[in-house]
Homo-oligomer: A and B are copies of this chain.
Amino acid sequence: MTTGNGSTTAQLITKHRPTLDRALDAIRTREFWTPHPEHPKAYGEGAPEEGKAAFDALRGSRFEVPGQPVSGEWTATEVSPYGLEMGISYPRTDEGAIDALLPVMSGGLPGWRQAGPEGRAAVCLEILARISARTHEFAQAVMHTSGQAFMMAFQAGGPHAQDRGMEAVAYAYAEQTRTPERAVWEKPQGKRDPLRVTKEFTAAGRGIALLIGCNTFPTWNGFPGFFASLATGNAVLVKPHPRAVLPLALTVRIAREVLAEAGFAADLVALAAEAEGDGIAKNLATRPEIKVIDYTGGSAFGEWLEANARQAQVHTEKSGVNTVLLDSTDDYAGMLSNLAFSLSLYSGQMCTTPQNLLIPAGGVATDAGHKSYDEVVADLGAAVSKLLGDDARANALLGAIVGDQVRERLESASSLGEVALPSRAVENPEFPDATVRTPAIVKLDAAKPEAEAGYLAECFGPVSFAVAVGSTEDALTLLRRTLREKGAMTVAAYTTSAEVERQVEEVCFDESAQLSLNLTGGVYVNQTAGFSDFHGSGGNPAANCTLCDGAFVAGRFRVVEVRRMAAS
């Protein structure tokens, strides 16, 4: 049994315990905190160039995962949305490789269990520290798989993702240590001696966890499940999206190095790369050895997992329809610029991007006077156009369209209603092959039944709907229906009325949706901060879990009690 190198683990605990304590404090107070600097310059002189060079060195080569049982076949499936030649081959995980791999992964579990919650947390934080040191390399990897613009790939794929991973480690540690390691239970028996029982409580992982990665946020959406499962004593098999393998493959390799250095089985973490069309996730997800699953992606496969992977704890982030309710505002310009940014960021390719803007047909009251529905839509379009008027700035905000499906969806959006703001193709001088598009705004009239095909379906990408509703009351009704039937990762509302605020809140409480009110400055509805904001609620059809809370980690392990009579 690989039981870990006690002195190495002790050193890691000494090194990372203060950070863990600070993270535990942050999830309790939910005040701002991060140990991961957001600015690229904070990573040292030369770091950008070194990161880029490391990334370039990986391109056109075989990505080895030393020591992991492999099939001998290789697969290269990544296509940079920026048109950069990737050509990175990964070990292809076929059925035979899986059969060989899973028992080896399970073999590491007893030693990992013995490390205890603190030892596992320290190993996880060391993995995160090494990832953090390579943030520039990860930024390139995320940029050229997701199509995010560099700064977003750097921040969301780097420090923000690392925050989410560390947050999961903190929750995992807190959850596992709610029960003491041992207790003496002494029950009075009247005049007789008391009954005395010693009880030992061990947090035991469930087995092998499967992480099914996504194309758009491989690290940000992948790290929470990865670290939550690992920190609670599971092995983790990482199955990246075929178009976004590298960020998670790097993660796997770093994790294996840290585990081995600390004396644990490197195979506690393994990579399952596949060729396009292999579809190994479906087979893996129902294997009896797989006890925990984390998935980010479309609703159809997410619902399939929930229905079929019955042997596992299944955590899904699927798709939803995000709503902004516009009732009134005392900062019309601030509202417009805030919304324009939210619609534009990463071309709306975020699960948190607003889709439906519910605007009373009779218009809204603003500090700039009453604005008709048409005026609001036109002004919002103008705000978007102004924000993205400069191509350099547009490229820096929009990034690239991640794939053909999104482009096709954008192109067919005009069939759904009158286009109030057409999408514009933007040239990217650095990457001429990148598909860069500004967001489109399409008008829909909620009074018309055919409009439902637009506003009651997720339209992932740079399309939003300006939905004319009869009144704010109608908007609340539609918001409730949308949340109940389609779910949402985010809800936003603009109102100067305390009563409307209360009503929107009640709908969000009833239907379990996260609400941002009257955002006008530099905080956007589609962004959440680790240690403070909840990402999704886990209580509506968009996701069955939230990042991050007790429920996200509590099912990943069980507490096994061993009791013995004690001498009285």
Which residues from chain A sit less than 8 Å from chain B, CB to CB? 27-32, 109-110, 113, 174-175, 178-180, 183-189, 195, 197, 199, 201-202, 204, 206, 306-307, 310, 505-506, 508-510, 512-523, 529, 532-534, 537-539, 546, 549-551, 554-555, 558-565
| Closest B residue, CB atoms, query A338 | B565
CB distance from A553 to the nearest CB of B (A): 9
CB distance from A547 to the nearest CB of B (A): 12
- Give Cα distance in the complex from A546 to B555, angstroms: 11
Contact present for A201 and B517 (CB under 8 Å):
no
15 contacts between A and B (CB under 8 A): A29-B183, A31-B186, A110-B506, A178-B549, A189-B522, A204-B510, A206-B512, A206-B539, A307-B310, A508-B562, A515-B560, A517-B563, A523-B565, A537-B560, A554-B554
- Give Cα distance in the complex from A105 to B374, angstroms: 42
- Give Cα distance in the complex from A317 to B535, angstroms: 31
Contact present for A183 and B532 (CB under 8 Å):
yes
Contact present for A563 and B515 (CB under 8 Å):
yes
Contact present for B558 and A538 (CB under 8 Å):
yes
A520 contact set on B, CB distance < 8 A: 565
CB distance from A542 to the nearest CB of B (A): 12
Contact present for A187 and B508 (CB under 8 Å):
no
Partner of A185, one of B188, B532, B539, B562: B532
CB distance from A189 to the nearest CB of B (A): 7
Partner of A509, one of B180, B202, B506, B510: B202
A206 contact set on B, CB distance < 8 A: 512, 539
Which residue of A202, A306, A509 has the most chain B CB atoms within 10 A of its CB atom? A509
CB distance from A22 to the nearest CB of B (A): 16
CB distance from A548 to the nearest CB of B (A): 11
CB distance from A143 to the nearest CB of B (A): 24
- Give Cα distance in the complex from A197 to B512, angstroms: 21
**Given that A310-B307, A559-B546 are contacting pairs, would A30 and B517 also be in contact in the complex, using a CB cutoff of 8 Å?**
no
Which residue of A27, A310, A514 has the most chain B CB atoms within 10 A of its CB atom? A514
Contact present for A180 and B28 (CB under 8 Å):
yes
- Give Cα distance in the complex from A539 to B565, angstroms: 25
| Closest B residue, CB atoms, query A106 | B510
CB distance from A328 to the nearest CB of B (A): 15
Contact present for B529 and A185 (CB under 8 Å):
yes
**Given that A307-B310, A519-B565, A558-B512 are contacting pairs, would A30 and B550 also be in contact in the complex, using a CB cutoff of 8 Å?**
no
- Give Cα distance in the complex from A538 to B175, angstroms: 15
Which residue of A29, A197, A307 has the most chain B CB atoms within 10 A of its CB atom? A197
CB distance from A335 to the nearest CB of B (A): 11
Given known contacts A206-B512, A512-B558, A517-B564, what 8 new A-B pairs fall within 8 Å (CB)?
A: A29-B180, A30-B179, A32-B187, A113-B509, A175-B550, A202-B509, A509-B560, A518-B565
- Give Cα distance in the complex from A505 to B113, angstroms: 12
- Give Cα distance in the complex from A150 to B372, angstroms: 75
- Give Cα distance in the complex from A519 to B113, angstroms: 26
CB distance from A37 to the nearest CB of B (A): 11
A539 contact set on B, CB distance < 8 A: 204, 206, 558, 560
CB distance from A76 to the nearest CB of B (A): 38
| Closest B residue, CB atoms, query A564 | B517
Partner of A561, one of B27, B514, B558: B514
- Give Cα distance in the complex from A28 to B555, angstroms: 19
Contact present for B515 and A562 (CB under 8 Å):
yes
- Give Cα distance in the complex from A206 to B518, angstroms: 26
**Given that A187-B32, A523-B197 are contacting pairs, would A562 and B505 also be in contact in the complex, using a CB cutoff of 8 Å?**
yes
- Give Cα distance in the complex from A541 to B564, angstroms: 25
Partner of A195, one of B31, B306, B523, B554: B523
In the A-B complex, the 6 residue pairs with the closest CB atoms: A551-B554, A539-B558, A30-B183, A512-B558, A204-B509, A550-B554
Partner of A522, one of B195, B201, B558: B195
- Give Cα distance in the complex from A30 to B182, angstroms: 9
A180 contact set on B, CB distance < 8 A: 28-30
A510 contact set on B, CB distance < 8 A: 109-110, 204
Contact present for B185 and A31 (CB under 8 Å):
yes
**Given that A113-B509, A307-B310 are contacting pairs, would A561 and B515 also be in contact in the complex, using a CB cutoff of 8 Å?**
yes
Contact present for A187 and B529 (CB under 8 Å):
yes
A546 contact set on B, CB distance < 8 A: 558-559
**Given that A516-B563, A521-B195, A537-B559 are contacting pairs, would A549 and B179 also be in contact in the complex, using a CB cutoff of 8 Å?**
yes
